[in-house]
Structure 1
Amino acid sequence: MNNLDEALGQMSQVVTANTKKIGILAARAMVLGKFFDMVLPQLTASQCVEISQSFRGGIEDAMSLMDDVALPGEYHSALLELTNVILRLLKESGQDR
């Protein structure tokens, strides 16, 4: 019974640590999203084009670093989905200027 309590205690610690990490990631995502929402309307058309090109290169670099790491399909899907949303918003914002 003591081993069971110990195992449950360890599992509880892991869950608590992971919950804190997820909370930190969620907070960072929210702040970066709000920053993007506030900055995007301030950009000129040429800035949108320049940022899009630089952003594409940065994402490609980041993806190449992860080539040797086995990550779940959900990671790649989320990365590509958000990347495409940002690029689309930059393009639309640049066209509106």
Structure 2
Amino acid sequence: MLVRIVKMGFYKQNIEVFLQNFDDTKTRIRAFEGCNFLELYRDKNDPSIFFTYSYWESEAALENYRKSELFNTVWSKVKPLFSIRPEAWSVDKLQSLE
């Protein structure tokens, strides 16, 4: 399993546009083959910073999503809204406690 964390910053006037777009597409992203989990977080100290946190079956599954029409549609709507360059990390989960 691969965990993907993406940090995004938005201009204040674009936050609601981003949130609406995420709401409109989250179910399709989560249903994409190989995606096992999807969450959206908002920074406590800076409300213009958001993180997506997702689990993928493999790096290949994530790459399939990144090459998909769905990703291209989502990215084309979100990219112009950024106030900072997005950052992304692919990590392996080593431990989980609940």
Instruction: Give me the TM-score of the superposition, normalised by structure 2.
Output: 0.28
> Structure 1 or 2: larger strand share?
2
> Structure 1 or 2: larger helix share?
1
Question: Looking at CA atoms only, which structure, 1 or 2, has the larger radius of gyration?
Answer: 1
Instruction: Give me the TM-score of the superposition, normalised by structure 1.
Output: 0.28
